[in-house]
Amino acid sequence: MQFKALLLSLVLVPTLFFGQETIDVQVMPVATELRVRMPEWRPKVFEQFPNGAPKLVMFYSENDQGVEEAVKRIHFYEGGRPMEETDLTVVAEKSPGFEVWKSTTVPHGVSVRFRETGEVERIAYFDHGLL
């Protein structure tokens, strides 16, 4: 009986001391800054304020297959300053990002929210629709 107890303690003691090891994993964002708007991107206004100023604009670019897809979304304040600028990508309907956003067009990379003064309020980093 004592032999079994000794054997069990020899197995469990190292686990107690070494099994609690924490592994430090650094997650790197997909991008660290917003994509620069390109001249070949086509803007499309989806919403406007009563004064005619754009409220929501999406920018589109052709992908490698020549299909146009959304690459950036900008929400504006009524005065014309950006409220939020988000880089976008297209995902498959079976992807986790689609489940979150219920859309194949999801945030990917950086999303910056601004105050009306232009100051940065918050920055979020997305990977195919997931924070």
Q: Is residue 25 part of a domain?
A: no
| Residue showing tokens 């994509």 | 35
Residue, of 105 and 14, whose pLDDT is higher: 105
Are the beta carbons of 75 and 82 closer than 8 angstroms? yes
* Sheet containing 105-114, strands listed edge to edge, beginning at the edge strand earlier in sequence: 42-48, 54-62, 68-76, 82-90, 105-114, 120-126
115 in any annotated domain: yes
Range of the domain at 49: 31-126
19 falls within a domain = no
Task: Report the C-alpha gap between 64 and 67 in whole angstroms.
Answer: 7
Q: What is the pTM of this model?
A: 0.74
Chain center to CA of 28: 12
Q: How far apart are CA 75 and CA 53, in angstroms?
A: 11
Number of domains in the chain: 1
Q: DSSP assignment, residue 103?
A: S
The 10s digit of each residue's pLDDT in 58-98 is 999 998 898 899 999 999 999 999 999 999 999 999 999 88
Read off the CATH number of the domain in which 88 is found: 2.40.128
Q: Is residue 68 part of a domain?
A: yes
Question: If you average pLDDT over residues 109-119, what whole number do you get?
Answer: 94
